[in-house]
Amino acid sequence: MTAIAESVLFQINSSNYTSDIFTIYKPQAGCSGFITTLRLTVDIKSIDAANFPYIPDDTPANVLQEILNEVALNTPFKEVVLFYKKGNGAWVKRAPIQIFNKEPYYDVNLMRYFSDANTIDVSEDLSLGIQIKPGNVLAPADTILVWGTAVEEKKNNGNEELAAAIEALQLAVYGRLTDLPSGTLLGRNTGTGTVEAISQSQFLSTASLELKADLVGGKIPAAQLPAFVDDVLEFATLAGFPATGETGKLYVAINTNLVYRWTGSIYVAISNSLALGISSSSAYRGDLGNTAYNHSQTIGNPHGLTKVDIGLSLTDNTPDAAKPISTAQQTALNLKADLVDGIIPAAQLPAFVDDVLEFATLAGFPTTGETGKLYVAINTNLVYRWTGSIYVAISDSLALGVTSSSAYRGDLGNTAYNHSQQSSGNPHNVTKTEVGLPALINALQLVASNNLSDLTDKQAARNNLAGAVTANRFLGGNGANVVLRSVDLATGDVTGILPPANGGSGIATAYTFRAAASVVQAIPNATATKIVLNSEINDSNNQYNPSLSRLTAVTTETWRLVVYITFNCASATRILLYVFKNGLEVPAQSRICDVPSNAGFFALSIPILEFPLLAGDYLEVFAYCSPSANTSADANLTSVFWSGKRIA
């Protein structure tokens, strides 16, 4: 038997495309073979680009097909089909493969579709084929390439081997054929320069044994074996290979399981391996990748930015202390309060400033609390109020904070994530010192550096806090079950410019939203509970989140809102309906309904109110149910809706 290395190379494009099945490999006549590499290179530009994950070469065919099926659900694709054929029989379908447009191109390992082993054994009469599925026409920009490597073994006829051996013996041992008498098949040298004729039977009786291999211990000695019998040689590592290899042999590095062949000058791998490169199917250089990763973690000015790079080329490094202050700036400074040793004097603080008391744990609270005060458990960051008999939590169980047991603010977390995705600008937060302007201070920095506070903002904060801590309306009770149903509210959009001079922001459209409830909700006893308005009827600017039942501002804006409920309940029950801003009740924006002694149907609403918001501020609707005079309290909300219109 003789080993022959063969290449598999077949290309399909728009010029040779048909719906027929193409033969991609069939052994030569008289040969069988085994395929060591068989791949499909796909370059399809006529469909939209696909985005799918990296798939290792050793991924099993069934797992690969599941991945391709999932990608194909939302991505255009074409399809090829693999076939077998024995002799002149019909083609037998092996497997379909979806192919996609993945820039710039990609490879598919076809080995896994034909065999679980490292090679595909192909008998003399077996053919492998491929078909572009009918209807999947290739465009001029589309190319599909099938390529690989096969090793074939040629089987010699026994009679041919015997005839060749006889001819060789005639020439080497018995003399020239031309010296034999006419009609003689064989001859031998007599030693005297003449040739003596012998019959075929005489030759076979004496020479046939010389054509047989010896047996040593029942086995043929290695010296009498043909070269290709030991064509696969194993070594511990690539470095252990012979300095000079032999063609027609395969060399295996045991430590990596990679197979090599000798080209005449070097060893080259013919088995699959993860090559270095910058394509989607290769691995990036480890040293360069490590350098890039370390750079991505650097804080400071790793790009060496200068003031020119960030648009401050005309700015000098003169400190603001050496620059004059404008009249407008001085006027603004005159409106700020002074600080005594960095602290606002107690005489300038309102009475409610000390209404928030902190303790290590809930167990450390005073046995009897005081109304109008808030109590904070530091270990959980939860806020409580005194009902007159017990402490009840008025903040969510998952508190906002910066500890390992608290939740980070969603608006700040989203800002941080968006910052991490910036590809331009100043994502590393380069400072003025790092660009050669350490002494430069702008007007806002001057206000901050002198510890000045804004009296207008401070008064607004005081008003909000005063409303939050004096809203002592919770009466206790046995709770209520709330049945919420979807309703509709016609809230037309307002078009046209809202002039800033009239309090508007100049927007061209007043955005609206409408939401209703469609779930059954229980109101826990003596606990403020957010109403679930999870049915979004309208949201023209995508600012209402039905999963959170929350309206969020995207800029500085003002909303006009209305909330309406109808309910039935037992006698002597109190229902409260109110709006929360950023997790706290908005003062004077609640409505109370005390049900008289007779039960029945009632309606309660928060009328049209206006809410000024900053970017990131959010509003929610809460309800509270409690009994009066210690009687039972059961209430059902028969309809709930919330609507709003942006007016500035």
SS3 466: helix
**Domain end among 464, 494, 513:** 464
Residue 250 resides in a domain = no
Residue 638 resides in a domain = yes
Pairing of β 573-581 and β 356-359: unpaired
Residue 421 resides in a domain = yes
User: CB count, 10 Å around CB of 104?
Assistant: 8
Residue 2: the pLDDT is 64
| Whether residues 619 and 517 fall in one domain | yes
Overall average pLDDT of the 430-439 stretch: 78
Tell me how many domains the chain contains.
4
What single-letter amino acid sits at 485? R
Using CA atoms of 409, 413, 415, 419 in order, give the dihedral in degrees to the nearest 10: 160
Overall average pLDDT of the 542-560 stretch: 91
Residue 129 resides in a domain = yes
Residue 176 resides in a domain = yes
- The vertex-275 CA angle with 272 and 277, nearest 5°, equals 150
Residue 292 resides in a domain = no
Residues 185 and 169 sit within 8 Å (Cβ to Cβ): no
| Whether residues 89 and 190 fall in one domain | no
Residue 347 resides in a domain = yes
Q: CATH no. for residue 96?
A: 2.60.120
pLDDT in tens, 68-97: 888 778 788 899 999 999 989 999 999 999
| Whether residues 456 and 535 fall in one domain | no
- Torsion over CA: 153, 159, 163, 169 (sign): positive
Residue 216: the pLDDT is 78
d(CA 593, CA 466) in angstroms, rounded, equals 23
Residues 6 or more apart whose Cβ sits within 8 Å of residue 381:
395, 399, 400, 401, 403, 405, 406
| Whether residues 138 and 200 fall in one domain | no
Residue 499 has pLDDT above 90, yes or no: no
Task: Kindly report which listed range (252-266, 336-350, 588-602, 620-634) carries the lowest average pLDDT score.
Answer: 588-602
Residue 83: the pLDDT is 95
Q: How confident is the model at residue 479 (pLDDT cuts 50, 70, 90)?
A: very low
Select the more confidently predicted residue: 78 or 442: 78
Residue 85: the pLDDT is 92
| Whether residues 55 and 175 fall in one domain | no
| Whether residues 501 and 405 fall in one domain | no
pLDDT in tens, 393-406: 886 556 667 777 66
Overall average pLDDT of the 378-390 stretch: 90
Task: Kindly report which listed range (362-366, 372-376, 487-491) carries the lowest average pLDDT score.
Answer: 487-491
Percent of the chain with pLDDT over 70: 66
**Domain end among 191, 212, 233:** 212
Task: Kindly report which listed range (235-244, 470-479, 553-562) carries the lowest average pLDDT score.
Answer: 470-479
Residue 258: the pLDDT is 87
d(CA 334, CA 345) in angstroms, rounded, equals 18
What's the token pair of residue 4?
């022959």
pLDDT in tens, 235-261: 999 999 999 999 888 889 998 888 888
Residue 272: the pLDDT is 58
Residue 446: the pLDDT is 46
pTM of the predicted model, to two decimals? 0.29
| Whether residues 458 and 563 fall in one domain | no
Residue 368: the pLDDT is 94
Residue 617: the pLDDT is 94
d(CA 269, CA 446) in angstroms, rounded, equals 68
| Whether residues 168 and 192 fall in one domain | yes
Residue 548: the pLDDT is 92
- Torsion over CA: 285, 290, 295, 297 (sign): positive
Overall average pLDDT of the 54-66 stretch: 79
Pairing of β 356-359 and β 618-627: unpaired
Residues 6 or more apart whose Cβ sits within 8 Å of residue 565:
577, 603, 604, 605, 623, 637, 639, 640
pLDDT in tens, 278-332: 777 567 777 888 888 888 888 888 888 898 888 888 777 777 667 777 788 888 8
| Whether residues 133 and 162 fall in one domain | no
Task: Kindly report which listed range (115-129, 191-205, 292-306) carries the lowest average pLDDT score.
Answer: 191-205
| Whether residues 130 and 204 fall in one domain | no
Residue 365 has pLDDT above 50, yes or no: yes
**Domain end among 434, 464, 494:** 464
| Whether residues 150 and 73 fall in one domain | yes
Mean pLDDT, the chain, whole residue set: 75
Overall average pLDDT of the 56-73 stretch: 80
Determine the structural domain holding residue 115 and report its residue range: 2-154
Q: How confident is the model at residue 443 (pLDDT cuts 50, 70, 90)?
A: very low
Residue 524 resides in a domain = yes
| Whether residues 40 and 89 fall in one domain | yes
d(CA 304, CA 300) in angstroms, rounded, equals 9
Residue 41: the pLDDT is 93
User: CB count, 10 Å around CB of 12?
Assistant: 20
Q: CATH no. for residue 492?
A: 2.60.120.40
